[in-house]
Amino acid sequence: MSVIKVENLRKNFPLQVEGNLLTKVKSRLANRQFEAVKDIDFEVKKKDFFGLLGSNGAGKTVTLSCISTLLIPDSGSIQVNDVDIIKNPFYFRENANIVLSDRLVYSKLNVKENLQFYSRLYGLGIQETKSRVNSIIKEFNFGEISSKKIEDLSNGQKQRVAIARALVNEPSILLLDEPTVGIDANFQIELHDLFRELNKTKTLLLTSHYLHEVELLCNKVIVMKKGIIIAKGSPDEIISKTKKKGCIKLEFNKISSAKIKELLPKNAVISGCNATLLESKPEIIAIDLVRSIPKKYLKSIEVKKPSLEQAFIELTGEEKENECGENTNALGGDEVNENA
């Protein structure tokens, strides 16, 4: 059974008309709609860790906002546990929650007060609020920061409070919109551990521009581009759909370049005692190389599979990479391979 079923979801916004356009042109444009999400379909199963990927403006937040009942779609349906949440928005609000990038916590209240406030908003009684808030504070190890105002916390701490806030109603589904943005690497790892823990009992939906974290955490992914879904599947399935090649890196003991050249296929790029090869099936080629190169010559061999990040860049159309297929560019490309 699917926990979330999205069918033909469409969300338009009125086209913004600014400036001193002629009144005639302005009135013609005023009736035009901007299609932020264009008839998308996807299904999320129980305890999935489901990733929504896409460049800036692809429609990820609009999609999550429709699911979380913050926006009303123009057409299509959204079922949560077989309940039509467009007709019954309270079903979503009782059983699920969302962490948005603008954190939804009050900066002048302290951590504990925020949690108490939201618990009461969700209808918990005074005693229930007390025990729920205490257990969240313990689970999140808030300790002495519980009495600190949100405005006095670091970005990472604020983000943990935002996630804690979304747990006051004990949701079985949690939507996370770029939860690790602006968080340092160590803290990201902490949040990943927290998400994995939450995923033991909850279905999670995540948007992120950090492809490595999506690859690490998510079992299913959709890739969105200009309001449509251009790829669906597990991260491995998405990677395998692309033409990207994996990379084999070899290091040799001190032998001549001529000798290294002799030992490797013609497409090898040799630099001193190092060599790299781009192959579509790098594991198989690497095994052959280990078998064929005498042990005394080979110091190390490493296989790097194509990453979800490389696949994403290929799918969404922006490509700039070094010899080993590693991206050297920031994400957010706009031009697309429309045939992807």
Chain positions contacting ligand ATP, by CB under 6 A: 13, 36, 54, 56-62
Least distance in angstroms from the C-beta of 326 to ligand ATP: 22
Question: If you ran DSSP here, which 8-state letter would residue 91 be given?
Answer: H
Residue numbers at the binding site for Mg ion (CB under 5 A)? 60-61
Least distance in angstroms from the C-beta of 70 to ligand ATP: 10
**Pair of tokens at residue 71:** 């926006």
> Of ligand ATP, Mg ion, none, which one sits near residue 73, judging by CB under 5 to 8 A according to partner kind?
none
Of all helices (H) and strands (E), which one includes residue 139? helix 126-139
Residues 177, 183, 189, CA angle at the centre, nearest 5°?
90
Helix and strand numbers (H, E) in the chain are: 12, 14
Least distance in angstroms from the C-beta of 98 to ligand ATP: 13
Residues 319, 323, 325, CA angle at the centre, nearest 5°?
50
Name which of 165 and 209 has its Cβ closer to Mg ion: 209
Find out whether 12 and 33 touch, Cβ atoms under 8 Å: yes
Q: Residue 176 corresponds to which amino acid?
A: L
Find out whether 309 and 212 touch, Cβ atoms under 8 Å: yes
> Of Mg ion, ligand ATP, none, which one sits near residue 59, judging by CB under 5 to 8 A according to partner kind?
ligand ATP
Select the residue whose beta carbon is closest to Mg ion and give its number: 61
Least distance in angstroms from the C-beta of 54 to ligand ATP: 5
**Pair of tokens at residue 94:** 């009782």
Name which of 57 and 89 has its Cβ closer to ligand ATP: 57
Name which of 278 and 315 has its Cβ closer to ligand ATP: 315
Find out whether 183 and 156 touch, Cβ atoms under 8 Å: yes
> Of Mg ion, ligand ATP, none, which one sits near residue 13, judging by CB under 5 to 8 A according to partner kind?
ligand ATP
Least distance in angstroms from the C-beta of 66 to Mg ion: 13
Least distance in angstroms from the C-beta of 92 to ligand ATP: 18
**Pair of tokens at residue 142:** 């808030």
Name which of 145 and 162 has its Cβ closer to ligand ATP: 162
> Of ligand ATP, Mg ion, none, which one sits near residue 306, judging by CB under 5 to 8 A according to partner kind?
none
Question: If you ran DSSP here, which 8-state letter would residue 305 be given?
Answer: P
Find out whether 118 and 109 touch, Cβ atoms under 8 Å: no
Name which of 51 and 59 has its Cβ closer to ligand ATP: 59
Name which of 4 and 260 has its Cβ closer to Mg ion: 4
